[in-house]
Amino acid sequence: MKAFFTDKLLSWNQLHNTRTMPWKGIRDPYRIWLSEIILQQTRVEQGLPYYERFITAYPTVKDLAAAPDEEVFRHWQGLGYYARCKNMLAAARQIVSEFNGRFPDTFEQIQSLKGIGPYTAAAIASFAFNLPHAVLDGNVFRILARYFGITTPTDSTAGKKQFAALAQELLAPGQSAIYNQAIMDFGAVMCRPQQPACPQCPLAAKCVALQQQTVAQLPVKSKKLVIKKRYFYYIVLEYKGQVFIRKRTGNDIWQNLHEFILMETPAPLDAGKLESEPAFTSLLQQTPYTLDGISAAFKQQLTHQTIYSQFILLTAVKQPAITDYMAVPRARLEQYAFPKTITDFLQNRSLGLF
Ligand code: SF4
């Protein structure tokens, strides 16, 4: 059953796999790494232009390591999950400082880089160096759970161990690069999460889930995703052509990105009545202002959170005494990296204010 799996997968790859990507088949670990980081939690069509942009701006890992943080964040803008970008930069600098600018070529050294887990390390090790490490991502969990009829939850410790051992056993000796690429493509085009192509599948003859009619129930996950709602009210305070912003720090979302004066509330508020909120007046430090407008609500969906944002546009009538925020010329706002919701607001000209 295992030999059948590997043989059929490899011949499907050779005869029917027409999925093309700019990084497919290349051996340059830097490009492979960049594509893997950009594509985590991102659709290929969305990630592709970012990959091209990064390769053009930073053709080598040394170029990326030497780039200013702010510039790299701006290139990343719109991709979300900024921790990935931060880790990517840290890893590039780690390659320069610890490995003399040469991408490491063992699984352990690759995995020692910031932001690289077992999946990405296996992808780089196999694609760039043909090392025998099987990738284990959502695609692989799904295919193996269905083909072998495995009901152990993929997010349990036992499940992770079981799937990792099985994936490693299935790896074609000496062909890990081809095998890993084949299984990832197979998950994307054949054994898809919804409506898998079972009638055309070369594994169908031995697929346990197909025989037991459990395709739709597999793979099993034990935890349900809990999505938290958050309500952000951004005060866009302007004084003499300058607007107040700050860089987000700490362990929350959007680290290192910028934002306007933020008031977060546990429940939605009527933005028209915000001026009577004590938190609002305290944020403004008694700055006298005129109200220029209130935007519609913007929504940004993150993996574990939904962010609802509204923007309240004010003009201060005298120098504001705002602490923790810096005043920057309105015309220079585009030089700062912002989360998608603020970029959407800045690009939405309906208020006619920016
Ligand atoms: S038969 Fe269907 S469920 Fe089974 S491996 Fe093929 S595509 Fe996946």
Chain segment 253-268, per-residue pLDDT in tens: 888 899 999 999 988 9
Atom of ligand 1 lying closest to residue 190 CA: 7
DSSP bridge pairs for 228? 305
Query: pTM to 2 decimals?
Result: 0.71
Q: Which domains are delineated in the chain?
A: 2-217 (1.10.340.30), 228-351 (3.90.79.10)
Quick one: average pLDDT of 78-96? 91
When mean pLDDT is compared across 57-66, 94-103, 227-236, 284-293, the lowest value belongs to: 284-293
Q: What is the pLDDT at residue 354?
A: 52
Q: What is the pLDDT at residue 34?
A: 94
Q: What is the pLDDT at residue 266?
A: 87
309 touches 254 (CB < 8 A): no
What is the 119 CA–ligand 1 centroid distance (Å)?
22
Whether residue 183 has its Cβ less than 6 Å from ligand 1: no
Nearest CA among 120, 133, 119, 118 for reference residue 175: 133
Closest residue by Cα to atom 2, ligand 1, is 198
Q: What is the pLDDT at residue 349?
A: 63
Atom of ligand 1 lying closest to residue 197 CA: 7
pLDDT surpassing 70 at residue 321: yes
Query: Looking at residue 103, what DSSP letter applies?
Result: P
Active site residue 259: no
CA 89 → CA 64, 65, 219, distances in Å? 7, 6, 34
Residue-wise pLDDT for 177-226, tens only, equals 999 999 999 999 999 999 999 999 999 999 999 999 999 999 999 877 78
**Residue 26: pLDDT band with limits 50, 70, 90:** confident
Q: Mutate which of 186, 190, 212 to test ligand 1's pocket (most atoms within 8 Å of Cβ)?
A: 190
| Number of alpha carbons in the 13 Å side-chain half-sphere of residue 165 | 5
d(CA 109, CA 255): 27
Residue whose pair of structure tokens reads 């003859």 in the numeric block: 205
Angle between helices 44-57 and 29-39 (to 10 degrees): 140
d(CA 150, CA 66): 47
Residue-wise pLDDT for 133-189, tens only, equals 999 999 999 999 999 999 999 999 999 999 999 999 999 889 999 999 999 999 999
What is the 221 CA–ligand 1 centroid distance (Å)?
18
What are the tokens at 18?
Answer: 């027409």
What is the 209 CA–ligand 1 centroid distance (Å)?
7
